[in-house]
Amino acid sequence: MRAPSEAELLALWERGRTRHPIDRALLLGGFARPDLPSSRLPDLPLGVINTALLGLREASFGPRIEAYLDCERCGERLEFALDSRQLLACTGQGDGRSELEVAGFRFRPPSSRDLAAVAGEHDVETASRKFLDRCRVDGGNTAWTEDADLRAEVEAGLEALDPMADIALELACEACGHRWVAGLDIGALLWEEIEARARALLTEVHRLARAYGWTEPEILALSPERRAIYLEMVDAS
């Protein structure tokens, strides 16, 4: 996978900044997988999009991911490092089946469109039921989701079908001993990094444009090394 150039990164950031996080993930997924028609992306299994995003993240910023999360019990901040290659290896890609059958119902892996369909739902339980029913081939009636055991079985089955759809991290808080499982939102993480990089780049453009009168394309055409030296000289003068 190819890392975006600085100009491409700025263009991605500009296009994505006012979009919903699900659409941002699809925008970045589309950059990562130019071989797929963009109209198909919303209907692809979430694992396909997440795998593409993890690859784009590695190409852009390297395999090491520095992340942090506040303990859900005591609020202590946990800082941890992940390796995207390890994440891919541990999570796996499923067993190759494209459908799941539970209690006579057939299910397909969830897609971005399914996430978007329940994004406005305030009640977590209702959202989860609607989401699962959307994954049912010929769904459209959530009555079956009344059965909590059946729901749990379908959830576990979907996880096995497309493990990368929801990257789970097992966490333990050193301060209070609490252990829990949190999902890694690779789209949100990558977006934060792209946003930070874009803002840093624009600051560099701003300083050099002001000092030398160069245009944005002229500044971005400089190698990062040359740009750093010019910035040092601007600081020193």
**Closer CB to Zn ion, 90 or 176, in the complex:** 176
Of these, 176, 202, 229, 233, which contacts Zn ion (CB under 5 A)? 176
Q: Report yes or no: 76 and 173 within 8 Å, Cβ to Cβ.
A: yes
Q: Which stretch binds Zn ion (CB under 5 A): 15-23, 24-32, 45-53, 65-73?
A: 65-73
CA 132 to chain CA centroid, Å, is 21
**Closer CB to Zn ion, 171 or 211, in the complex:** 171
CA distance 118 to 134: 10
Of these, 88, 132, 173, 208, which contacts Zn ion (CB under 5 A)? 173
Q: Which distant-in-sequence residues (6+ apart) come within 8 Å of 36 by Cβ? A: 30, 44
Q: How far is the CB of 170 from Zn ion (least distance, A)?
A: 14
Residue 153 CB burial class (10 angstroms; 0-12, 13-18, ≥19)? middle
Radius of gyration of the chain (CA): 21
CA distance 108 to 87: 23
Considering only residues 186-225, where is the footprint of Zn ion by CB under 5 A? none
Q: How far is the CB of 74 from Zn ion (least distance, A)?
A: 3
Q: How far is the CB of 186 from Zn ion (least distance, A)?
A: 24
Amino acid at 129: R
Q: How far is the CB of 176 from Zn ion (least distance, A)?
A: 3
* Binding characters for Zn ion, 69-98, by CB under 5 A (x = yes): --x-xx-x----------------------
Should residue 175 be labelled a site residue for Zn ion when binding is judged by CB under 5 A? yes
Task: For Cα atoms 49, 54, 60, give the angle at the middle one, nearest 5 degrees.
Answer: 120
Tell me which residues touch Zn ion (CB under 5 A): 71, 73-74, 76, 173, 175-176, 178
